[in-house]
Chain A
Amino acid sequence: MTAAAPAALPATAITAAPTIAPACAPSAPTVAFTLNGRPVALAAPPDRRLLALLREDLGLVGAKPGCGVGRCGACMVWLDDEPVNACLVMAWQLDGRRVTTVEGLADDPRAAPVREALARHGAVQCGYCSAGLVVGLTWLHGQADVPDRDAAAAQLCGHLCRCTGYGGLQRTLDALFAPPAPA
């Protein structure tokens, strides 16, 4: 038994849904960026997270709120041409930038072989990490200087998956990337 807590405890609110930032106040500044190739402009507080903008304001649910702290990779999108976790990007950072989500990769020929490999090799179970993985892996696979298999694997540790044990992802990498050159 440990010591009792002090009597007459104050009330404390436990934070719910920090990934879902406050909805836009009427006075919020306008942020304008390119989303999946189309210009968008909307009023948003400067600290509203990109993940909330996408899901709550723009109705794109492909990016998933898994942790809200940039650890799990389920909300990965491209900002300009770099993969980022949408939960860590704020509205003030978006002006004039290009955002590409998994929805924007629907008809992108670079994503098709990635989706096909992940599906074929058993890398999809509950699927909550899958869209983020498609975004991250399509970026890696599309690099002009394509990494080898092990270098690609090292860059995918920001994608957590609790279902598959990563066996399907290992096989996907074997299929998509060249083996590392012998030392």
Chain B
Amino acid sequence: MHDPVDLLTHDALLRTAEPRPDADAKLRGDPGYLTDRLRPGQLHGAILGSPWPHARILAIDTRAAAALPGVAAVVTAADIPGQARYGLRVVDRPVLCHAVVRCVGDPVAAVAAETPELAQRALALIDVRYEALPLVDDAEAALAPGAAPLHPGGNLLHQGHHARGDAAAAAAACVHWVEAEYFSPMQMHAFLETEGGVVEPDGQGGFWIGFGGHNPERDRQVLAAMLALPPERLRVVGTPVGGSFGGKDELTVQPIALLLAWKAGRAVRLHLARPQSVDLGVKRHAMRVRMRSGCDASGRLRCHTVDILADTGAYATHGPEVLDAAIEHAAGPYAWDALAVDGRLAYTNNGIAGAMRGFGAVQVQFALERQIDALARAGGWDPADFRRRNLLPPDAPGPLGQVVAPFDGPRQALAVAAAHPLWRGPRRGVDAAGRWRWGVGLALIHRSDGFGRGGPNASRLVLALAADGRIELRAGFTELGQNLLGTMLCLMQRWLGCAAADARPVLGDSALTPDSGPVAASRATTLVHRALAEHAGPWRDAVLQAAAIQLNVDAATLRLGPGGVCDADGRLRLAYAALAAALGEARPVHTIDLPPEQTPSEVDAAHYVFGACAALARVAVDGWTGALRVEQLLLVPALGPVASPMGLLGQMEGGALIGQGLATTEDLSPRGGRYPARNLDGYLIPTLADAPRCEVVAVQDLPAGDRVGPRGAGEISVNIAVPAIANAVAEAIGLAATRLPIAPDTVLDHLEALERST
């Protein structure tokens, strides 16, 4: 056992005061959002969505709409010349529905008109005849015999199973059992910029397509297939993005806007209003998770049985991968003698669920960390000690038995949290008036980085000296707010010896950037690090060789520096701009192909890399209203060397508040296939008044010989905040929460029951 040696404290993170390259433009209101690309002559697109959660389309009559003066195009599925459906693993989502609508808002037709008012009037003139189909609004009911199938293959979209160990022997050893059924509802991404952008004909039969996204190259392939055009005819720009959190990963309205522009032969702008964004956009999967977990008399975890039922809504999008992630994270970083995890994923008419930050793991980690806390309580053990004694060793196989990159992060993060004054002081109390009762909760998780085995884990980046002398790192990723631009600048300076002013990250434009795969799964920072770590040497050699020829000196006397190539004393000898000018078309361009970093084990969807995080939450419970007030959060990410200190801090603070929202107020559970709220006045995300004081302490250690480098920080704070808050509530008032959010009614019922029993 050794203690973590390399910590970045909260103050140390802040001291960097690292500038963010896009901050000033954003604070002045115009960093170039694609929804701000307003130009004269653009047509205005509008989409007709289904008012019904499940219905057959009998007829669509668009004649009156098309005849309205000022309407340039009306499209239905019949207009699509190529692929009329899209999807990631499962191609099941129609660009426009022609036979059946499967959720409220499912697009049926669209128009492009000279003004938004005309577009709305035209939508009202489209006559769609529907015939009702049975509503499937519950995942269990969707899988019951006789349920109306949403798709030809039935309602079971995906299932998975993992078991190991001798369950009977492990169960026989158990003295303490905890069994519960947990529920986590649909959660809205609530990015502030709703889906939108512009499609512009390029005058040569192709199109420029600008919509915030995660993977412009993948979008280009799908959009080209829809129009049966070669992908080269399309240029797709996906950056910058006004927030996504996974909600703009899959295509949203791009295919419809492109179809309109293609039919009209003119530029079309399409920007959803919030209610339609809520209807059309994906959400976090609702999950019902049953867990039965046991430990022996000494407090050793023995037996863990998990059953997951997830609701993917009308279409697959990322659903199968979400369920796979739930299954993989259901055991946590703990050693179990026997484990059995089953998962099923059902189609329903409850909107559409897809990728959301925290991805598949949030729901099961809430359940698991409640179980672990309850077992510690049952046996009278300290929750930190109980976890520490049950951790897997750093070189243990992964949760599915797969080979993983060795990692000691869970133990290190837990040690830092357990040593914190918040944990070492009193863990529960009540205010003087007796109204607020507070408690301190602990949680510990690990979570995967990158995609599972078989996913699009490879990546390509390009490092090049541009004509103006800037060193460009080009990637198809997009800037979603996560500070990828700043992280790239930090890492370029660190690895390439240049100054920030010499470096230029180029992102998210299919004409300028290579196919890097999606910016998702907390992977971009790790890939940028790998690209630079592996290719800084060849880059340096190429640049120094070229400079040596220009300067007529031995390359060994030169090195890379701020501003250009320097001599051994650090004096600038040749500016990058001068080198670029001298080299002309012979400027160095390095294509960096990163092979997938994935487990060699033949376990489908299993991950190779994990990060870890521990957290403490101090939560006060209002005995009058049942509301929760998160007062203090300590987050201890163990993700290896910090690439961008302010970037890490922002990811930790921001993700934690999304987790807090799920734990305290956010609930988008559909009723009758309809969301209960369609705007931010009815769906309550945390405000400044709800934000706790957050302290972040980063563990930077990695095991000797680690080849992966920094783990991604994009998601893990969402995952950790939920169970930390739930465990704090348990400490404060003894409520073993099983349902998210932990609603005032639940709290008050519990407090009243407590009063009755005393």
Interface residue ranges, A against B (CB under 8 Å): 1-9, 11-23, 55-56, 59, 61-72, 74, 101-103, 106, 115, 118-120, 122, 124-131, 134, 153-154, 156-157, 159-171
Q: Interface size (B, Cβ < 8 Å)? A: 97
Partner of A16, one of B53, B119, B130: B119
Asked if residues A162 and B685 are in contact (CB atoms below 8 Å), the reply is yes
- Is B91 part of the contact surface with A, judged by Cβ < 8 Å? no
With A127-B240, A169-B688 given, is the CB distance from A160 to B129 under 8 Å? Answer: no
Asked if residues A168 and B650 are in contact (CB atoms below 8 Å), the reply is yes
Q: Please give me the 9 A-B residue pairs with the lowest Cβ-Cβ distance, nearest first.
A: A62-B29, A127-B26, A126-B481, A22-B117, A128-B242, A167-B653, A165-B653, A131-B29, A125-B481
Cα of A21 to Cα of B117 in the assembled complex, Å:
7
Asked if residues A18 and B680 are in contact (CB atoms below 8 Å), the reply is no
Task: Quote the shortest CB–CB distance from B646 to chain A (angstroms).
Answer: 5
Chain A interface mostly helix, strand, loop or mixed? loop
Partner of A1, one of B137, B273, B652: B137
Cα of A170 to Cα of B687 in the assembled complex, Å:
12
- Is B390 part of the contact surface with A, judged by Cβ < 8 Å? no
Closest residue to A126 on the B side, CB-wise?
Answer: B481
- Is B33 part of the contact surface with A, judged by Cβ < 8 Å? yes
With A5-B135, A128-B242 given, is the CB distance from A13 to B124 under 8 Å? Answer: yes
Asked if residues A12 and B653 are in contact (CB atoms below 8 Å), the reply is no
Asked if residues B274 and A6 are in contact (CB atoms below 8 Å), the reply is no
**Using Cβ atoms and an 8 Å threshold, which residues of chain B touch A16?**
46-47, 116, 119-120, 123, 272-273, 276
**Using Cβ atoms and an 8 Å threshold, which residues of chain B touch A67?**
274, 679-681
Closest residue to A24 on the B side, CB-wise?
Answer: B115
Partner of B192, one of A12, A55, A64: A64
Task: Quote the shortest CB–CB distance from A155 to chain B (angstroms).
Answer: 10
**Using Cβ atoms and an 8 Å threshold, which residues of chain A touch B216?**
none
**Using Cβ atoms and an 8 Å threshold, which residues of chain B touch A163?**
243, 481, 650, 654
- Is B672 part of the contact surface with A, judged by Cβ < 8 Å? yes
**Using Cβ atoms and an 8 Å threshold, which residues of chain A touch B271?**
17, 20, 65
With A61-B36, A125-B650, A157-B689 given, is the CB distance from A165 to B655 under 8 Å? Answer: yes
Considering the complex, which residues of chain B in the window 638-680 have a beta carbon less than 8 Å from any beta carbon of chain A? 646, 649-650, 652-658, 672, 679-680
Asked if residues B55 and A9 are in contact (CB atoms below 8 Å), the reply is yes
**Using Cβ atoms and an 8 Å threshold, which residues of chain A touch B127?**
11
**Using Cβ atoms and an 8 Å threshold, which residues of chain A touch B124?**
13
**Using Cβ atoms and an 8 Å threshold, which residues of chain A touch B119?**
16
Asked if residues A7 and B132 are in contact (CB atoms below 8 Å), the reply is yes
Cα of A101 to Cα of B381 in the assembled complex, Å:
58
Cα of A153 to Cα of B454 in the assembled complex, Å:
48
Other A-B contacts than A164-B653, A171-B14, 9 sampled, CB-CB below 8 A, are A5-B135, A17-B271, A124-B27, A125-B483, A127-B25, A128-B242, A131-B29, A162-B685, A167-B649
**Using Cβ atoms and an 8 Å threshold, which residues of chain B touch A128?**
33, 191-193, 242-243
Asked if residues A66 and B276 are in contact (CB atoms below 8 Å), the reply is no
A-B contact pairs, 8 of them (CB 8 A): A1-B141, A7-B132, A13-B126, A16-B123, A17-B272, A128-B242, A130-B29, A165-B654
Partner of A5, one of B36, B52, B189, B650: B52
With A13-B120, A61-B36, A119-B20 given, is the CB distance from A167 to B691 under 8 Å? Answer: yes
**Using Cβ atoms and an 8 Å threshold, which residues of chain A touch B148?**
1
Task: Quote the shortest CB–CB distance from A177 to chain B (angstroms).
Answer: 13
Asked if residues A102 and B29 are in contact (CB atoms below 8 Å), the reply is yes
Asked if residues A165 and B128 are in contact (CB atoms below 8 Å), the reply is no
Considering the complex, which residues of chain B in the window 370-393 have a beta carbon less than 8 Å from any beta carbon of chain A? none
